[in-house]
Amino acid sequence: MKLMFISPITDENFEEKSRQESLKYVSTGTEIEVRRVPYGTASIEGAMDEALAQPGIIKVGMDAQTEGFDGIFVSCMGDPGVNALREAVDIPVVGPCRTTMLYCADIAARFSVLTVTDGVIPIIETIAHELGVAGKLASCKAINIPVLELVDLDRTVNALFKLAIEAIEKYDAEVLMLGCTGMIGVDISLRNQLLNAGYDIPVLYPVPISIRYLETLVKNKLSQSRMTYVKPLDKDRSIFNMLNR
């Protein structure tokens, strides 16, 4: 099995870190390739960034199918381009936001999302509605640290801890999901800090579980339904000519 891991922002560090991390997440026998979008935005922190990232994500995803990949993962919590790619290709396409919400819906009564900036919140809330689990979304709040500053792990974990306490005490969350794929390596420390504070609550980092979920789809020859994600009609799409010239 050969999976495409799309790094949907033009930042090179994120691509490189994703490359190192992704290898840890796959099963024996699965190959995974990380590929950065050729055009887009430096980071994704709202609907405008998402809109600008999507042409690049579609380009990489369509190439992936042509090159024989078996499944596609788009590494951003707004799931940008996932619906578009699900139309464009036949292989399964997975986004971390919707996938992780499903795990949360299963293992607890209510979940909260801890994300980066306020601009991302309505995107994540809409995904909860689209997916059908909005009734279990206790809250979605932001630490308001931009994506590219998450590398300061101490600051990030401290801010997440405060938000987690609010999610539990004000909003009755019973499981937490990290709301940015850039929040690498903080789930364990956050979980432990919460345990010390008296809260035995799971903290889900979306990337590894989403990739396993994608592997399961591929392994079982499943893909998104063609009745929901209809094959695009042939037509002139001039923007691609301009971007790929």
Rule CB under 8 A: say whether 196 interacts with a copy of itself: no
- 88-147: contacts with a copy of itself (CB under 8 A): 88, 92, 94, 98-99, 102-103, 105-109, 117-119, 121-122, 125-126, 129-136, 139, 146
Q: What single DSSP character describes residue 117?
A: -
Cβ-based nearer residue to a copy of itself, 43 or 181:
43
- Least distance in Å: CB of 240 to a copy of itself? 7
**Cβ within 8 Å of residue 186, ≥6 positions away:** 153, 156, 157, 160, 178, 205
Cβ atoms within 10 Å, residue 101:
25
Rule CB under 8 A: say whether 193 interacts with a copy of itself: no
Rule CB under 8 A: say whether 84 interacts with a copy of itself: yes
Cβ-based nearer residue to a copy of itself, 185 or 208:
208
Cβ-based nearer residue to a copy of itself, 18 or 210:
210
- Least distance in Å: CB of 60 to a copy of itself? 13
- Least distance in Å: CB of 103 to a copy of itself? 7
Out of 17, 63, 83, 151, name the contact with a copy of itself by CB under 8 A.
83
- Least distance in Å: CB of 43 to a copy of itself? 6
- 15-34: contacts with a copy of itself (CB under 8 A): 27-29
Q: Exposed (0-12), middle (13-18) or buried (19+): which is 234, by Cβ within 10 Å?
A: exposed
Rule CB under 8 A: say whether 1 interacts with a copy of itself: no
Cβ-based nearer residue to a copy of itself, 154 or 200:
200
- Least distance in Å: CB of 68 to a copy of itself? 21
> Which residue, chain included where needed, has tokens 């990739």?
211
- 43-82: contacts with a copy of itself (CB under 8 A): 43, 45-56, 58, 81
CB 110 within 8 A of CB 173: yes
CA distance 199 to 221: 39
- 155-184: contacts with a copy of itself (CB under 8 A): 168, 172, 174-175
Find residue 4's DSSP bridge partners. 33, 72
Count of residues that bind a copy of itself according to CB under 8 A: 94
Q: What single DSSP character describes residue 232?
A: P
Q: Please count the CA atoms within 13 angstroms of the CA of 99 that sit on its side-chain side.
A: 28
What is the helix, strand, coil percentage profile of the chain, to 5?
Answer: 50, 15, 35
Helix (H) or strand (E) holding 160: helix 153-169
